[in-house]
Amino acid sequence: MGNFDIAGKELVFNGKPIRLLSGAIHYFRVVPEYWEDRLRKLQACGFNTVETYVPWNLHEPEEGKFCFEGMADLERFIRVAGDLGLHVIVRPSPYICAEWEFGGMPAWLLANSDIKLRCLDRSFLDKVDAYYDELLPRLQPLLCTNGGPIIAMQIENEYGSYGNDQDYLIYLQQAMKARGIDVLLFTSDGPLDAMLQGGTVPDVWATVNFGSRPKEAFGKLLEYRPDQPLMCMEFWNGWFDHWRETHHTRDAADVAKVLEEMLECGASVNFYMFHGGTNFGYFNGANHSHEYEPTVTSYDYDSPLNEQGEPTEKFFAVQEVLRKFTSAEEQQQWPALPEPIPAHRFGEVTMTEQAVLFEQLDQLSSAVKRRCPEPMEKLGQSYGFILYSCHVSGPRPAESLTIQDVHDRAIVFLDGSYVGTVERWNAQPLELPIGEGGARLDILVENMGRVNYGPQLKDYKGITEGVRLNNQFLFDWTIRSLALSDVSQLRFAASEPGEVKEMNAAGPVFYKGVFTAEQTADTFIRLDGWVKGNVYVNGFHLGRYWEAGPQKTLYIPGPLLKAGENEIIVFELHGTKQPVVVLEDKPQL
**pLDDT (0 to 100) of residue 506:** 73
Q: Are residues 407 and 327 in the same domain?
A: no
Closest CA to 234 of 417, 410, 51, 367: 51
Within a domain: residue 342?
no
The residue type of 567 is: E
The Cα diameter of the chain in Å comes to 85
Q: Are residues 463 and 509 in the same domain?
A: no
The sign of the torsion formed by the CA atoms of 156, 160, 161, 163 equals positive
Residue 377 DSSP one-character state? G
Q: Are residues 278 and 383 in the same domain?
A: no
Measured between alpha carbons, how far is 72 from 237 in angstroms, rounded to an integer?
A: 26
CATH number at residue 26: 3.20.20.80
Residues in Cβ contact with 290 at an 8 Å cutoff, skipping those fewer than 6 apart:
none
Instruction: Note whether 488 and 422 are within 8 A (CB).
Output: no
Give helix 252-264 / helix 214-224 axis angle, nearest 10°: 40
Within a domain: residue 206?
yes
**pLDDT (0 to 100) of residue 495:** 82
Closest CA to 534 of 362, 353, 282: 282
Domain boundary among the residues 482, 500, 522 is at 482
Within a domain: residue 291?
no
Residues in Cβ contact with 223 at an 8 Å cutoff, skipping those fewer than 6 apart:
none
**pLDDT (0 to 100) of residue 498:** 57
Residues in Cβ contact with 28 at an 8 Å cutoff, skipping those fewer than 6 apart:
55, 58, 71, 72, 283
Count of C-beta atoms within a 10 Å radius of residue 371: 8
**pLDDT (0 to 100) of residue 501:** 57
Domain boundary among the residues 449, 482, 515 is at 482
Within a domain: residue 340?
no
Instruction: Note whether 573 and 411 are within 8 A (CB).
Output: yes
pLDDT tens for 273-307 read 999 999 999 999 999 999 999 999 999 999 999 99
Q: Are residues 245 and 165 in the same domain?
A: yes
**Cα 290 off chain centre by:** 21
Q: For 89-121, where are the alpha helices, taking DSSP H only?
A: none
Q: Choose the catalytic residue: 99, 101, 158, 293.
A: 158
Is 374 tagged catalytic?
A: no
Q: Are residues 352 and 369 in the same domain?
A: no
Measured between alpha carbons, how far is 18 from 5 in angstroms, rounded to an integer?
A: 10
Q: pLDDT tens string for the chain (589 positions)?
A: 689 999 999 999 999 999 999 999 999 999 999 999 999 999 999 999 999 999 999 999 999 999 999 999 999 999 999 999 999 999 999 999 999 999 999 999 999 999 999 999 999 999 999 999 999 999 999 999 999 999 999 999 999 999 999 999 999 999 999 999 999 999 999 999 999 999 999 999 999 999 999 999 999 999 999 999 999 999 999 999 999 999 999 999 999 999 999 999 999 999 999 999 999 999 999 999 999 999 999 999 999 999 999 999 999 999 999 999 999 999 999 999 999 999 999 999 999 999 999 999 999 999 999 999 999 999 999 999 999 999 999 999 889 999 999 999 999 999 999 999 999 999 999 999 999 999 999 999 999 999 999 999 999 999 999 999 999 999 999 999 999 999 999 999 998 765 655 555 679 999 999 999 999 999 999 999 999 999 999 999 999 999 999 999 999 999 999 999 999 999 999 999 899 999 999 998 7
Strand-pair category, 21-25 with 49-53: parallel
Q: Are residues 380 and 406 in the same domain?
A: yes
Measured between alpha carbons, how far is 329 from 552 in angstroms, rounded to an integer?
A: 44
Q: What are the counts of helices (DSSP H) followed by strands (DSSP E) for the chain? A: 12, 33
Within a domain: residue 14?
yes
Looking at the DSSP bridge assignments, the partners of residue 509 are: 356, 572
Count of C-beta atoms within a 10 Å radius of residue 151: 24
Give the up-direction half-sphere exposure of residue 339: CA atoms within 13 A in the CB hemisphere.
Answer: 3
Q: Are residues 80 and 186 in the same domain?
A: yes
Q: Are residues 12 and 60 in the same domain?
A: yes
Instruction: Note whether 49 and 20 are within 8 A (CB).
Output: yes
Q: Are residues 365 and 506 in the same domain?
A: no
Count of C-beta atoms within a 10 Å radius of residue 246: 10
Residue 359 DSSP one-character state? G
Count of C-beta atoms within a 10 Å radius of residue 334: 17
Q: Choose the catalytic residue: 99, 101, 234, 584.
A: 234
Q: Are residues 89 and 223 in the same domain?
A: yes
Domain count of the chain?
3
Domain boundary among the residues 450, 465, 482 is at 482
- Go through 97-123 and write b for each residue having 16 or more CB atoms within 10 A of its CB, e for each that does not: bbbbbbbbbbbbbbbeeeeebbbebee
Measured between alpha carbons, how far is 330 from 46 in angstroms, rounded to an integer?
A: 9
Count of C-beta atoms within a 10 Å radius of residue 379: 15
Give the domain extent around 326. Answer: 4-286+296-331
Instruction: Report helix, strand or coil for 536.
Output: strand
Residues in Cβ contact with 83 at an 8 Å cutoff, skipping those fewer than 6 apart:
none
Cis peptide bond N-terminal to 273, omega within 30: yes
Give the up-direction half-sphere exposure of residue 495: CA atoms within 13 A in the CB hemisphere.
Answer: 21
Within a domain: residue 198?
yes
Within a domain: residue 138?
yes
Measured between alpha carbons, how far is 27 from 439 in angstroms, rounded to an integer?
A: 49
Q: Are residues 464 and 559 in the same domain?
A: no
Strand-pair category, 417-423 with 409-414: antiparallel
pLDDT tens for 16-68 read 999 999 999 999 999 999 999 999 999 999 999 999 999 999 999 999 999 99
- Go through 541-572 and write b for each residue having 16 or more CB atoms within 10 A of its CB, e for each that does not: bbbbbbeeebbbbbbbbbebbeeeebebbbbb
Measured between alpha carbons, how far is 460 from 12 in angstroms, rounded to an integer?
A: 45
Instruction: Note whether 19 and 4 are within 8 A (CB).
Output: no
Is 75 tagged catalytic?
A: no
Q: Are residues 501 and 477 in the same domain?
A: no
Instruction: Note whether 556 and 345 are within 8 A (CB).
Output: no
Within a domain: residue 337?
no
Closest CA to 406 of 470, 468, 481: 468
CATH number at residue 385: 2.60.120.260
